[in-house]
Amino acid sequence: MSATIKSVAEYAGVSIKTVSRVINNEGTVKPDTLAKVQQAIDALDYRPNKAARDLAGRDNYVLGYVYDNPNAYYILAMQNGILKECRANGYELLIHPCDATNPDIIDELVNMVNSARLAGLILSPPLSEMPDVLQAMDDKGIQYVRVLSGDKAPDDKPCVLVDDYQAARQITGHLLDQGHQRIAFIAGEKQHHSTTERQRGFYQALADHGIQADPELVIDGTYSFGTGVQSIQQLLALPEPPTALFACNDEIAAGALFGARMQGVDVPEALAIAGFENSPFSTQTFPPLTTASQPTAQIAQRATSSLIRSLQARKRKAENHTITADIFVPELIVRESTSR
Amino acid sequence: MSATIKSVAEYAGVSIKTVSRVINNEGTVKPDTLAKVQQAIDALDYRPNKAARDLAGRDNYVLGYVYDNPNAYYILAMQNGILKECRANGYELLIHPCDATNPDIIDELVNMVNSARLAGLILSPPLSEMPDVLQAMDDKGIQYVRVLSGDKAPDDKPCVLVDDYQAARQITGHLLDQGHQRIAFIAGEKQHHSTTERQRGFYQALADHGIQADPELVIDGTYSFGTGVQSIQQLLALPEPPTALFACNDEIAAGALFGARMQGVDVPEALAIAGFENSPFSTQTFPPLTTASQPTAQIAQRATSSLIRSLQARKRKAENHTITADIFVPELIVRESTSR
DNA sequence: GAGTAAAATGACAGCGTTGTCATTATGATG
DNA sequence: CATCATAATGACAACGCTGTCATTTTACTC
């Protein structure tokens, strides 16, 4: 049988309420009392009973992660990061896969939050980029944190930013540094901010080097292997084909690599290819892909901790809780697919 | 404010205990009383408070999913299936990623089950195939269900079987039916039962057709793209190369396909390739891969429901609860990579 | 229709925590 | 050193449910 707050209180020689104050960091406990209680907690290996906490308290210690993203690696990395932070703070996580294209998605989410009595929500793209979803959460007073693509927060609500723009600029810059002049770009779904941000970074890098982008070299597609295969065929058929390609993610890049090989085009000798995401795809090709690595798990962890802090701040009625938008810049990883 | 058991009881004109009996299916309630209560539940949209249930009851309504598997698609599919069944039965799910090679893994798991007060565990490979892990669970009286590769249950403890043997036999049979005589096999990690079962099916199919397996055509590797690329080079360098390949999973098959193309070998004209798993890899290649589809989400759902049933049976002290081992046979999916 | 066993229902405590409010200790002030 | 404000602590009810055991109702027997 595991220790209860009562046994800890007896062991430490204080009331259960004081123990409660310690485990909730309420701050109104004398240092030596606190030390005694901490020691009792450690000695008895006490862990608060979540069910009792939820039942007695006003709030619940459960966060929700809502996702709709076909990319399994991304979701799992997010999930791992969130879980880590939740565990560290005694929160639990409710996982809720959903379909963002479902017209009833908003009702579904509100319903879920209410019936599971969630304390807050972690939203990743594309959900985190849907204004009506965010609006509904605000209306219902549901707390959330978003993971977003961008280089500055779109509003003052909590979010963690991934600076795809900057990273895309770096990747493109890397290709330019290698002497490439005709660089192609294959985009993913335009609904994802990540696509538009990466494209913006691509254009900016060209502009930095005084190069005019050739519209023929920019192709719209989806974040898929198939897009890569098809697009590269189209690009290679051009009278003046590109000597380098920046694909919006590794999956597209892998497809392009495959397509190029099928047509007998050597990579990187005749065509340099860079991807984005540092997914397993990027090392499972020959040659391995140059890419940008976003520390997804770490981003998720930061988002979660930010949500928890704002939850606790609200609990203590600290209205002056300042929301700081964390920002991550994916890091350039150079591999053989772009080496000269 | 949502309805409580008390408001339902008042509405229905019975005691709260009777409502409790209804929601727990205890069976000792008169039909018309039951109807009244049901109606009250519907009218008030009552949902039992999980925290109160957990606190008051002996058991918790929380299951755990423990995984260590590099394959993100598999895990996510499992997770989705488990979640679906949990939700349908009012259970919650605790997700616990872990490292099976960690020497302290057993302590870690036992600790987790105790501190989170889990009702039961869902184990997938490789954890479900580690005898010492299972032994520890049995010793501690922790209930679990395993998802296993095999065509019959190894013991009388609850499990759901995936008949890789049968499916591998079918895939190999399909290649044989296409007239192939020299069929290669690339294995994954030998620690995974799925590998040995698939290999067993491969040999059996050859034997069925009176063909002697050529050891030169069987290569050990890992479940990775790289294994596929390397192995196919080795196979194609043989004096008498194979005309068909059965790769232990789609990732290997995709690597092999890539490697074959690199060497100018046409697929399927000069070399037929089949994979296994029906992962996204299998449709992201040109040509798309023949493979076997295991309904992972459905398997997970079945496993979860089996665990829940056995949990409830134990609660009612029904010792005569018979454990039926469900068995799934992955289904052959023929695509262009093996068409004549 | 009285007597009995079995089925159905209810009263009430208790699960482990937090919130509210009362009480006690501490420190500052004159 | 008495007085008071404030910080620290404690007593106790309440959260919504289940388990135990007592009570009532029902069904059956002679």
Whether residue B315 is predicted with pLDDT greater than 70 in this model: the reply is no
User: A247-264: per-residue pLDDT in tens?
Assistant: 999 999 999 998 998 888
**Residue A316: per-residue pLDDT:** 59
pLDDT at B153: 86
pLDDT at residue number A231: 96
DSSP string computed for A158-191: -EEEE-HHHHHHHHHHHHHHTT--SEEEE---TT
Q: Give the closest-approach CA distance of A83 to chain B in angstroms.
A: 8
The one-letter code for the residue type at B250 is D
Other Cβ atoms less than 10 A from the Cβ of B26: the count is: 12
> What is the pLDDT at residue A264?
86
A89 touches strand C (CB under 7 A): no
Q: Which two tokens stand for residue B61?
A: 């309504």
Mean per-residue pLDDT over chain B, rounded: 88
Which of B79, B262, B284 minimises the CB distance to A95? B79
pLDDT mean over B85-111: 84
Å: A51 CA to D15 C1': 11
| pLDDT recorded at residue A321 | 54
* Sheet containing strand B272-274, strands side by side: B218-219, B183-186, B244-247, B272-274
% of chain B at pLDDT higher than 90: 47
> Which positions of strand C lie within 7 Å of protein CB atoms?
7-20
- What sign has the CA pseudo-torsion A69, A304, A79, A289? positive
Tell me the C-alpha distance between A324 and A64, whole Å.
21
- Residue-wise pLDDT for B118-165, tens only, equals 888 999 988 898 888 899 888 888 889 999 999 888 888 889 999 999
pLDDT the model gives residue B316? 58
Strand D footprint, Cβ within 7 Å: A 13-18, 21, 28-30, 33-34, 52, 55-56; B 1, 4-6, 16-17, 20, 23-24, 46, 48-49, 52-53, 55-59
Q: What is the mean pLDDT of each run of 10 residues along chain A (340 residues)?
A: 86 91 82 88 88 82 85 89 85 85 85 78 89 87 89 86 95 95 94 93 95 93 91 95 95 91 87 92 84 93 88 61 77 90
Q: Which phi and psi angles does B67 have, rounded to 5°? A: -140, 150
pLDDT at B74 > cutoff 60 = yes
- Report all structural domains of chain A as residue ranges with CATH numbers, in order of start: 5-48 (1.10.260.40), 62-162+297-327 (3.40.50.2300), 164-294+333-338 (3.40.50.2300)
Please say whether the beta carbons of A262 and A236 come within 8 A.
Answer: no
Nearest to A256 by CA among A288, A287, A225: A225
pLDDT one-digit tens code per residue, B184-240: 999 999 988 999 999 999 999 999 999 988 999 999 999 988 899 999 999 999 999
Tens digit of each residue's pLDDT (9 = 90 or more) over B25-63: 777 888 888 898 989 998 998 888 888 988 887 677 888
Minimal Cα–Cα distance from A208 to chain B, Å? 36
Residue B318 has pLDDT above 60, yes or no: no
Counted residue by residue, chain B has a size of: 340
Cis-peptide into B154, omega within 30 deg: no
Q: How far is CA A203 from CA A151, A180, A207, A246, A333, in A?
A: 16, 14, 6, 11, 20
Q: Which chain B residues contact residue A262 at CB under 8 A?
A: 261, 286
Sign of the four-CA dihedral B259, A250, B66, B97: positive
Burial of A223 (0-12, 13-18, 19+ CB in 10 A): buried
How much is the CA Rg of chain A, to the nearest whole Å?
A: 25
